[in-house]
Amino acid sequence: MEQVILVDEENNQIGVADKETVHTINTPLHRAFSLFLFNSKKQLLVTQRALDKKTFPGVWTNSVCGHVSPGEETVDTVKRRMSDELNIDATNIKEVAPYRYRLADNNGIVENEICPIYIGFTDEDPKPSKSEVEAWKWIDWNEFLKTIKDHPGTYSPWSEEEAVILSRCHPELVSGSNE
């Protein structure tokens, strides 16, 4: 069974728990990550979460999200989850901004995570795992930003907040270049 790392507000590990038991209406704070994958056409890979996911089923979101496993570096988790969920590789994967959120889905299940934002670059089309991803598409980065501004709630709340952080704090990082 997959485990998550429980943390305090300063991101110090205070325990571990089975992933299936932590997502409730009282979800404890735990470590995660969020990845935005760009291609050479300055497009963002967005994915629709599988319809049977426990939290936010069927919701469109950024490329990959996941939980850090005990004893694993976050960047290694990012690469592992990218391979497991999308069956692709990327280059220049790096953390670009901190992020912390607590949100409830329509069923009252809470996400409560310290979730740094990562970016990476690939021109591969995904071959997603159906247990993780229902659908996917490439979308122009500027179109994505316009959509979340004009139609909030089109994508997951965390991906919309993280995209604003990326566009404001690190516009050079999402230029589509893998230099």
Per run of 10 residues, the mean pLDDT along the chain (length 179 residues) is: 95 95 94 96 95 92 96 95 95 94 90 96 96 96 94 96 91 54
Query: Does any domain span residue 100?
Result: yes
Total number of domains constituting the chain: 1
Write the CATH number for 151. Answer: 3.90.79.10
Domain extent, residue 139, equals 3-174
| DSSP E strand boundaries for 19-171 | 30-38, 43-49, 60-61, 64-67, 91-97, 100-104, 110-114, 117-121, 133-140
Q: What is the CA radius of gyration of the chain?
A: 15
Answer yes or no: 113 catalytic: yes
Query: Does any domain span residue 179?
Result: no
Q: Is 159 helix (H, G, I), strand (E, B) or coil?
A: helix
pLDDT at 30: 97
Query: Does any domain span residue 41?
Result: yes
Query: Does any domain span residue 83?
Result: yes
Query: Does any domain span residue 59?
Result: yes
Query: Does any domain span residue 71?
Result: yes
* Annotated active-site residue in 65, 111, 160, 162: 65
Answer yes or no: 169 catalytic: no
Query: Does any domain span residue 77?
Result: yes
Give the predicted TM-score (pTM) of the model. Answer: 0.92
Q: What is the pLDDT of residues 8-35, one digit of tens each?
A: 999 999 999 999 899 999 999 999 999 9
Q: How far is CA 20 from the centre of its chain?
A: 18
* Annotated active-site residue in 85, 111, 113, 162: 113
